[in-house]
Amino acid sequence: MNTFIKRLLTASFLTLILSLLVAPGFRSHIFFLNFVDEDDNIVIGNLAGEGKKLYTDVYTQHQPIMFYLSAGIEKVVKPDNILMTVKRHREFMIVWSFLWIFILIYRFGLPLFFASAVIELMKINLLGNLFLAESFVVYPLIYLISYLVYKNQKKIDWEKDWKDGHYVVAIGYDKNKLYFEDPSSPLRTYLSYDELNKRWHNQQKKEKYFHYAISVYGKKPKFSLNKKVHMG
């Protein structure tokens, strides 16, 4: 069994176990009414679905994504009363959460399973089961934070790595380094000559490329290297 299948099955199994563990709590609270921003999200979403213009016909101080998302949910499931409307919105949040839990476990393994379990077991007490922007963004935010932590901890042997190639534009050099405009960084980056020699390769399908470049000549450019970082 290859690694992809094993990770897929493991993530699916752990996500299923966690969903079965928290399901009784969600079922017992599915109709609990809490007068928070969830009401605004659903009511204003309904008005937006009927053609009302946000911030013109309907006043709100919130960002629009939850309203339009609510309008989309109502259009798809077509609930016939207010209780079913609330229920369907909260069911959407459950599905959304467990989709992200699966992604987190698949991508980062057991640490994110345990983190997700803690969140789900506390969620009802923290109103995280409601149709709220805070509930909507929590798992995407955890993914971004986990990715940054994982990326910073993972040591890549760039000489042997063929999966993470991207282009850069060499804009300058000195006796120790070359400097680049790098689409993967908001700042200019640099590498030593030895580092560049080890990294300068790429692969597309089965074709491997070594020291592949396009040279562009012109007037000597003017630029500042005050803000630069190592390419990482």
| Closest by CA position to 229, among listed 187, 196, 181 | 187
pTM over 0.75, yes/no: no
Determine the pLDDT at residue 112.
93
The reported pLDDT for the residue numbered 35 is 64
Name every residue whose Cβ is closer than 8 Å to that of residue 58 and which is 6 or more positions away in sequence: 44, 47, 48, 52
Q: Which residues, given as ranges, of the chain have pLDDT below 50?
A: none
Q: What is the distance between the alpha carbons of residues 127 and 9, in angstroms, rounded to a whole number? A: 31
> Looking at residue 15, what is its pLDDT?
94
Which token pair is 199? 């990294």
pLDDT digits (tens, 9 = 90+) for 40-95: 999 999 999 999 999 999 988 889 999 999 999 999 999 989 889 999 999 999 99
84: number of CA atoms within 13 Å, CB side? 6
Res 195: pLDDT:
87
